[in-house]
Amino acid sequence: MNTLLNIHPGQDIKIHPLNNSIYSKEYHCQVIDINQKELKITVPYSDGKLIPLPTKTQIKVTVMDEVFESEILSRKFGQEQSLIIAAPHSILKSRHNSQKSDRISTKVLAITSGKGGVGKSSLAINLAIALSKKGQRVCLVDADLGMANIDVLLKMTPKYNLTHIFNEEIDIFDVIIKGPKDVLVVPGGSGWQDIASLNTFQFQQLVKNFNKLEQYTDIIIFDTGAGIDSNVINFLLASDEILLVTTPEPHAITDAYAMTKVITEQNKNLPVKLIVNKANSKEEGQDVGNKVSFAARQFLGISLEYLGFVQESRLFSKAARNQHPIIDKWPFSPPSKEITQLANNIIGNNQSNSRGMTGFLNKLASLFKK
């Protein structure tokens, strides 16, 4: 029991987010558990709708007649929904304050491949989960206009898509489905191909909703289609950074180089990073990475970074059949460790400029209108 405020499990409390333009009301919660450093409380709801307050949110907490400031340290959704907030006068409070004030725009990554069948979408899902495990707030957007399948791989049943947002029927949080390890998922490619034909009001609706999302994310990953279709290229050119997936198979390597060439011809300064999937060994992955990087430097005049590899494993097909990500089901397997290393490399190399979702959407709209 906390002697300062006499807080105990089962007690009703009120939380009021500070400096949050989206959720600024006072919300009722209940204490689940407490120790000297943290309080575990229920997730707030308003009019039957979950309020997805992000981690690092500063809040005012009212317990009976006592008031103190706190911070959301972590959150859990799914079966056991809860928030962890800092206890009164806890040393954990404000540990993120300096980062919050200096926070840069959300980084937009586009993951693609020169051909289908290289395991791109599975890798996108597992990479998003790995980044989330590392403390990044991640949103995964299925932008494959022809073969959208992230919802299938994650055993999800989407109710809405982006077209409902265009017409102001719902907002982005109605479209989003909560994925493993708190990854936010925007399922299905439906709606993205219509971006060029949106009127001013509809486009403003899209920007407004994704700007809401930006407050809750550090990284947004767009899983695009494969190949050099113009729709795919548009997503790549609008992003802050491209993750290009290939395999050691000769045709896949050739297609990855062709994709790099198309991107380079339109924007030589856009960072492209290579991931070799389904490699038989670390050495094979490195060899493929060296070859593609050399060709890009020699013939295209760009520096293509080799980000890392993921080895071939039967666990991927097993995970696909069970509709369960490998990094969640078998976190200590070699492929999971390699995906975690990719996440480390992305976080450690997170220095390039980010334009945020507004910059991404404006660029994407201009490309689709060409």
pLDDT tens, 311-326? 999 999 999 899 999 9
Q: What is the CATH number of the domain that holds 361?
A: 3.40.50.300
Closest CA relative to residue 311, chosen from 292, 331, 339 = 339
Closest CA relative to residue 138, chosen from 146, 127, 153 = 127
Measured CA to CA, the distance from residue 227 to residue 259 in angstroms comes to 7
| Domain presence at residue 194 | yes
Give 243's contacts (C-beta < 8 A, 6+ positions apart): 109, 110, 111, 112, 127, 273, 275, 307
| Domain presence at residue 85 | yes
Task: Give the SS3 label for residue 246.
Answer: strand
In this prediction, residue 281 has a pLDDT band, given cuts at 50, 70 and 90, of very high
Question: Which segments of the chain does DSSP mark as H helices, in order?
Answer: 97-101, 120-133, 150-153, 162-166, 172-175, 200-214, 230-238, 250-266, 282-295, 314-322, 326-329, 334-348, 356-368
| Domain presence at residue 356 | yes
pLDDT at 229: 86
pLDDT at 262: 96
**End-of-domain residue from the set 46, 77, 98:** 98
Using CA atoms, how far residue 123 sits from 150, 164, 175, 189, 318, in Å, is 11, 28, 22, 18, 14
User: 79 and 133 in one domain?
Assistant: no
Residue 61 tokens, joined: 């907490």
How many domains is the chain built from? 2
Give the strand pairing for 241-246 and 219-226. Answer: unpaired
- Contact between 253 and 286 under an 8 Å Cβ cutoff? The reply is no
Give 273's contacts (C-beta < 8 A, 6+ positions apart): 241, 242, 243, 244, 304, 305, 306, 307
Whether residue 330 is predicted with pLDDT greater than 90 in this model: the reply is yes
- Contact between 190 and 161 under an 8 Å Cβ cutoff? The reply is yes
Measured CA to CA, the distance from residue 60 to residue 16 in angstroms comes to 5
Whether residue 98 is predicted with pLDDT greater than 70 in this model: the reply is no
CA dihedral angle for residue 160, residue 161, residue 162, residue 164, rounded to 10 degrees? -40
- Among 99-113, 129-143, 207-221, the least confident range: 99-113
Burial class (CB in 10 A: 0-12, 13-18, 19+), 184: buried
User: 174 and 88 in one domain?
Assistant: no
Measured CA to CA, the distance from residue 146 to residue 143 in angstroms comes to 9
User: 201 and 113 in one domain?
Assistant: yes
Q: What is the CATH number of the domain that holds 49?
A: 2.30.110.10
User: 111 and 64 in one domain?
Assistant: no
User: 316 and 208 in one domain?
Assistant: yes
| Domain presence at residue 6 | no
**End-of-domain residue from the set 98, 133, 161:** 98
User: 73 and 179 in one domain?
Assistant: no
**End-of-domain residue from the set 73, 98, 123:** 98
Measured CA to CA, the distance from residue 124 to residue 122 in angstroms comes to 5
| Domain presence at residue 89 | yes
Rounded to the nearest 5 percent, the helix, strand and coil shares of the chain are 40, 25, 35
User: 153 and 281 in one domain?
Assistant: yes
Measured CA to CA, the distance from residue 277 to residue 280 in angstroms comes to 9
| Domain presence at residue 1 | no
pLDDT at 91: 40
| Domain presence at residue 3 | no
For residue 71, the cross-strand partners are 58
User: 115 and 247 in one domain?
Assistant: yes
Mean pLDDT of the 59-88 span: 84
Residues 217-274: tens digit of each pLDDT: 889 999 998 888 888 899 999 999 999 999 999 999 999 999 999 999 999 999 999 9
pTM here is 0.75
| Domain presence at residue 51 | yes
User: 58 and 111 in one domain?
Assistant: no
Whether residue 329 is predicted with pLDDT greater than 50 in this model: the reply is yes
User: 284 and 167 in one domain?
Assistant: yes
User: 129 and 273 in one domain?
Assistant: yes
pLDDT at 189: 61
User: 240 and 179 in one domain?
Assistant: yes
Enclosing domain of residue 83? 12-98
Whether residue 94 is predicted with pLDDT greater than 70 in this model: the reply is no
Give 49's contacts (C-beta < 8 A, 6+ positions apart): 173
pLDDT at 77: 66
The DSSP code for 94 is T
Measured CA to CA, the distance from residue 39 to residue 8 in angstroms comes to 10
